[in-house]
Amino acid sequence: MINGRVTVSDLNKVYRSGEEETKAIDDLSFEVEGGEFLTVVGPSGCGKSTLLYLIAGFLDPTSGTIAVDGDPISGPGTDRGVVFQDYALFPWRTVEDNVMYGLEENGADEDERRETAQRFIDMMGLSGHEEKYPKELSGGMKQRVALARTLAYDPKILLMDEPFGALDQPLRESLQDHLLDIWRDIGKTVVFITHDVEEAVYLSERVMVMTNQPGTRKSVYDIDLDRTRSREEVITSDAFAETKNEVWKSLHEETQQDTRL
Provide the minimum distance between the beta carbon of 72 and ligand ATP in the complex, in angstroms, as a whole number: 21
Q: Does 45 bind ligand ATP (CB under 6 A)?
A: yes
Q: Does 194 bind ligand ATP (CB under 6 A)?
A: no
Residue choice 4, 35, 47, 57 for contact with ligand ATP (CB under 6 A)? 47
Pairing of the two strands 80-83 and 157-161: parallel
Which residue lies nearer to ligand ATP by CB, 21 or 181?
21
Q: How many residues bind ligand ATP (CB under 6 A)?
A: 13
Provide the minimum distance between the beta carbon of 50 and ligand ATP in the complex, in angstroms, as a whole number: 3
In DSSP notation, 220-261 reads: EEE----TTS-HHHHHTSHHHHHHHHHHHHHHHHHHHT-TT-
Pairing of the two strands 189-193 and 157-161: parallel
Q: Does 49 bind ligand ATP (CB under 6 A)?
A: yes
Residue choice 29, 44, 78, 236 for contact with ligand ATP (CB under 6 A)? 44
Q: Which stretch binds ligand ATP (CB under 6 A): 15-23, 114-122, 182-190, 232-240?
A: 15-23
How many beta carbons lie within 10 A of that of residue 86, not counting itself? 14
Contact in structure between 165 and 85 (CB atoms under 8 Å): yes
Contact in structure between 102 and 149 (CB atoms under 8 Å): yes
Side-chain half-sphere of 244: how many Cα atoms within 13 Å? Answer: 17
Q: Does 127 bind ligand ATP (CB under 6 A)?
A: no
The DSSP letter of residue 215 is B
Q: Does 179 bind ligand ATP (CB under 6 A)?
A: no
Which residue lies nearer to ligand ATP by CB, 53 or 120?
53
Residues that bind ligand ATP (CB under 6 A): 15, 17, 22, 24, 42, 44-50, 213
